[in-house]
Structure 1
């Protein structure tokens, strides 16, 4: 079992720095941003999404904790927002720390988050996953997420 605990300010600072860098790398790897612009673009995105840090309105940031040992095994961040006229919870980030991967923590964390979201009467849970992250795609498919949009690209010329 896992518990989701609200991030402390220290947890948030570690999360924020790591996530900005990680998101920049993912966006560059997916071809959405050039490497030279990725870090700056990522910082801007995070500032826009979390203008008041961990206390940003409609956002909840949690540390994933192993029940019993209280060991921190990852983090998860979602925002409650309107998608058209329907309220939804959107997972912006889910990370299980490297040494804790392949032990079921991501699935358990999503299940725990589903309960929180249901208690708030939010009918839908969504997320984005980079197409090159095959492990995440497999997990999300296994636990019932379905694709709603697919964007595909074909590289025609080498970019240097």
Structure 2
């Protein structure tokens, strides 16, 4: 295994938000879900709503992806866990590998490590959302056994 997951510190979380908020806004604009106007504000509100206590938000796990070879942070992983009708599920809100470390297997390794973490918590499945324009991520998830379970569609009428 070439990466491990380490709990994110508050200082790393603050730095993470500086890129996560604009990146999420950009992805939503590019996909056609959001208009450009107000997208940063909307993204910021979503992050505050989902992580009201930052790294200490209940049932949310924010990790740094650490390279075992280099002993440095190569990215982040954010997962939320919920239980409905006695079944625990995890949802990946964000996984991001820094540009210099992409295409080197770190995301794959982190997702495999996440499966171990999820097994320890008796989680039954792991879900995620991927934007249609992110073909490389879709290929990675497919190769790891993730399956499409629904498709969101939008038609612009204005």
Give the TM bin, normalised by the shorter chain. over 0.9
Find the aligned partners of 1:111 and 1:38 in 2 and give their Cα distance: 32
Unaligned runs of 5+ in 1: none
* Equivalent runs, 1:18-37 vs 2, <5 Å: 18-37=19-38
Q: Does 1:47 align with 2:48?
A: yes
Contact 2:33 2:154 in 1 (8 A): no
Number of residues paired by the alignment? 157
After TM superposition, give the deviation of residue 2 of structure 1 in Å. 0.6
TM score, norm. by length of structure 1: 0.93
Query: Which structure ranks higher in relative contact order (CA pairs < 8 Å, sequence separation ≥ 6)?
Result: 2
* Equivalent runs, 1:1-160 vs 2, <5 Å: 1-83=2-84, 86-153=87-154
Find the aligned partners of 2:122 and 2:114 in 1 and give their Cα distance: 13
Find the aligned partners of 2:9 and 2:152 in 1 and give their Cα distance: 36
4+ aligned runs moved over 4 Å, structure 1: none
Find the aligned partners of 1:83 and 1:36 in 2 and give their Cα distance: 36
After TM superposition, give the deviation of residue 151 of structure 1 in Å. 2.1
